[in-house]
């Protein structure tokens, strides 16, 4: 199966090359697309040097993912998403892609709370919000998640049908909700998680980032829960 990796990156010049290389050495992806969200540093250049194709998108995590999807090669059948800060562990990519390639699942998502976490790689509110969102989704759709992990793989055709709309931090949760609502065959697998490999935190490590992302995630939860499929 043809696999493409999409990596949203904003000012990640330190970690990005390592992330791209780690993806490529797995031998799983046919292409790695880094979506540069208007970085003011050398993220794009470093990503390109490491072997990625670079496309640009306006600020916003969801906008980055959408731009990555627009840029997929025509052959691509499976899309893998992961962060550009070196915190996700690309060595686990096989475990995410395999069940889709074997035809048993459509959406395979990592769970950092069930995997091994480097101390300090996730804070309490990230762990709790993933668990709580997972419980709410179990009540809504009968699908249990334990994390809103950015590292995930999905069949391209299934993703297209979800009609993703979130432009910022609601993107990850929106995909999980819509996948459950669409009755995709979903699997959650434990993945390890590290501290970011250099650079600065934009979300969980700052009070403002935490607040903005938290508000957006809650708004997404309410919007998608009440929306007709
Ligand atoms: N904040 C933000 N992050 C973006 C954007 N576009 C892409 N990203 C990337 O989204 C990923 C997640 O952001 P992080 O800053 O790592 O947020 P986090 O994982 O909650 O926090 P730390 O890992 O502690 O830094 C990183 O790869 C960012 O580079 C954007 O528009 N805003
Ligand atoms: Mg991070």
Dump pLDDT digits (tens) for 34-57: 999 999 999 999 999 999 999 999
Which phi and psi angles does 44 have, rounded to 5°? -60, -45
Query: 209 by DSSP, 3-state: which?
Result: helix
Whose CA is closest to 160, among 226, 223, 77?
A: 77
Check if 203 has its Cβ closer than 6 Å to any atom of ligand 1: yes
Dump pLDDT digits (tens) for 67-106: 999 999 999 999 999 999 999 999 999 999 999 999 999 9
Q: Which one of the ligands is nearest to 38 CA?
A: 1
Which residue's CA is the closest to the ligand 1 atom numbered 22?
A: 201
Task: Locate 226 and state its tokens.
Answer: 């009440």
Check if 67 has its Cβ closer than 6 Å to any atom of ligand 1: no
Taking the centre of ligand 2 as the mean of its atom positions, its distance from the CA of residue 205, in whole angstroms, is 9
Q: Which one of the ligands is nearest to 169 CA?
A: 1
Taking the centre of ligand 2 as the mean of its atom positions, its distance from the CA of residue 207, in whole angstroms, is 14
Q: What is the mean pLDDT of the chain?
A: 96
Q: What is the Cα–Cα distance from 90 to 110, expressed in whole angstroms?
A: 11
Q: How many residues does the chain have?
A: 229
Whose CA is closest to 96, among 176, 166, 3?
A: 3
Residue with tokens 């790689």: 121
User: Which of 65, 117, 126, 202 best tests ligand 1's pocket when mutated (most atoms within 8 Å of CB)?
Assistant: 202
Dump pLDDT digits (tens) for 117-149: 999 999 999 999 999 999 999 999 999 999 999
**What atom in ligand 1 is closest to the CA of residue 199?**
25
Dump pLDDT digits (tens) for 144-171: 999 999 999 999 999 999 999 999 999 9
pTM of the model: 0.97
At residue 228, the pLDDT reads 77
At residue 2, the pLDDT reads 98
């Amino acid at each position: 199966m043809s696999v493409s990796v999409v990596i949203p990156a904003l000012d990640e010049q330190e970690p990005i090359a390592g992330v791209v290389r780690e993806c490529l050495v797995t031998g799983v992806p046919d292409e790695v697309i880094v979506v540069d969200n208007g970085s003011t540093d050398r993220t794009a250049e470093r990503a390109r040097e490491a072997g990625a194709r670079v496309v640009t998108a306006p600020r916003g995590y969801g906008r980055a993912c959408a731009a990555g999807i627009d840029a997929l090669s025509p052959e691509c059948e499976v899309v893998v998403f992961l962060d550009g800060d070196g915190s996700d562990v690309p060595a686990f990519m096989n475990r995410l892609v395999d069940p889709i390639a074997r035809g048993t699942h459509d959406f395979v998502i990592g769970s950092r709370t069930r995997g091994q976490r480097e101390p300090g790689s996730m804070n309490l509110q990230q762990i709790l919000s993933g668990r709580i969102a997972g419980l709410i989704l179990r009540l809504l759709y009968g699908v249990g998640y334990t994390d809103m992990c950015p590292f995930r793989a999905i069949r391209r055709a299934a993703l297209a049908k979800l009609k993703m709309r979130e432009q910022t931090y609601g993107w990850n949760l929106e995909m999980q909700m819509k996948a459950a609502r669409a009755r995709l065959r979903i699997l959650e697998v434990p993945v390890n998680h590290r501290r970011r490999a250099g650079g600065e935190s934009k979300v969980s490590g700052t009070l403002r980032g935490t607040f903005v992302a938290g508000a957006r995630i809650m708004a997404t939860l309410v919007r998608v829960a009440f929306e007709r499929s």
